[in-house]
């Protein structure tokens, strides 16, 4: 089954994830680690869905289990460079590279582990391809579940990927990462611009209400004097209203 429609360039091949990882590679789900299996003082970290970003490792979780429990559950220990795929939203099918951790790590069952043992596959290229719009759309077309959408590893295994030569994979990774860095710098510039615009607005308002934004006529009454006169007039009117009220009260009673 192949839901990816690609025109394969000359020199490229096609293959499923199972085929491209190599004989000694890994393509399996994470482990079923229940709450009762966890230990806050454990020496093995449990990587979860919240850690899997769209192209980046978020490093958010704080769950652990003991090494003995991980062995008992026959957990798959992660290695730096593993491609981790979230089988649940959001978004569904997002992938990142596991960077490693100070402690040994395993991952939750809804995270798929891909570990190519093939010198013809670049892990970063694979991660970027999984995050590409075409692959993402295909994953969404194969999702199951009504209230909790997910993609099964079985359906992931059905997909055929267009595979460029390793040299081209590396070039693709370099170009993607360069473009991402440019986009990041542009985003930072926009954020800085927004902050500057905010400060400029505050400065304009400050000047507007301190009489510094419009050229002042020397004959104009100073703002401080005007405010003082307004306060005095307000006090006079308040006193006047009190006296009128007192006279009315005496007439009524």
pLDDT per position as a tens digit, 19-61: 999 889 999 999 999 999 999 999 999 999 999 999 999 999 9
pLDDT at 222: 62
For the cut 50, the answer to whether the pLDDT of residue 157 exceeds it is yes
Q: Which of 125, 142, 164 is the last residue of a domain?
A: 164
Domain count, the chain: 3
69 inside domain: yes
135 and 56 share one domain: yes
Q: Which domain holds residue 245?
A: 221-253
pLDDT at 205: 74
Is the full-model pTM beyond 0.85? Answer: no
pLDDT digits (tens, 9 = 90+) for 193-231: 888 888 888 887 777 666 566 665 666 656 666 567 667
Cβ partners under 8 Å of residue 127, min gap 6: 55, 83, 95, 96, 97
59 and 141 share one domain: yes
For residue 252, which phi and psi values (nearest 5 degrees)? -70, -35
153 and 45 share one domain: yes
């Amino acid at each position: 089954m192949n839901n990816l429609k690609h025109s394969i360039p000359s020199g490229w091949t096609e293959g499923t994830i199972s085929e491209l990882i190599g004989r000694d590679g890994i393509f399996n789900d994470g482990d079923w680690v229940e709450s009762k299996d966890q230990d806050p003082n454990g020496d093995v970290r449990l990587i979860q869905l919240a850690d899997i970003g769209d192209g980046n490792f978020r490093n958010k979780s704080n769950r652990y289990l003991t090494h003995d429990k991980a062995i008992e559950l026959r957990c798959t220990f992660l290695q730096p460079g593993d491609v981790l795929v979230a089988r649940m939203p959001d978004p569904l099918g997002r992938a990142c590279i596991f960077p490693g951790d100070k402690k040994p790590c395993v991952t939750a069952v809804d995270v798929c582990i891909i570990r190519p043992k093939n010198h013809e596959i670049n892990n970063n290229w694979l991660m970027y391809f999984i995050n590409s719009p075409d692959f993402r759309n295909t994953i969404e077309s194969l999702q199951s579940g009504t209230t909790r959408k997910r993609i099964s590893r079985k359906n992931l295994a059905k997909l055929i990927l267009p595979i460029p030569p390793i040299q081209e994979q590396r070039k693709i990774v370099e170009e993607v990462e360069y473009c991402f860095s440019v986009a990041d710098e542009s985003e930072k510039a926009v954020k800085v611009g927004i902050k500057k615009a905010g400060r400029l607005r505050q400065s304009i308002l400050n000047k507007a209400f301190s009489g510094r934004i419009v050229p002042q006529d020397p004959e104009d009454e100073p703002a401080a004097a005007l405010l003082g006169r307004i306060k005095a007039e307000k006090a006079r009117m308040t006193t006047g209203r009190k006296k009128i009220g007192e006279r009315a009260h005496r007439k009524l009673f």
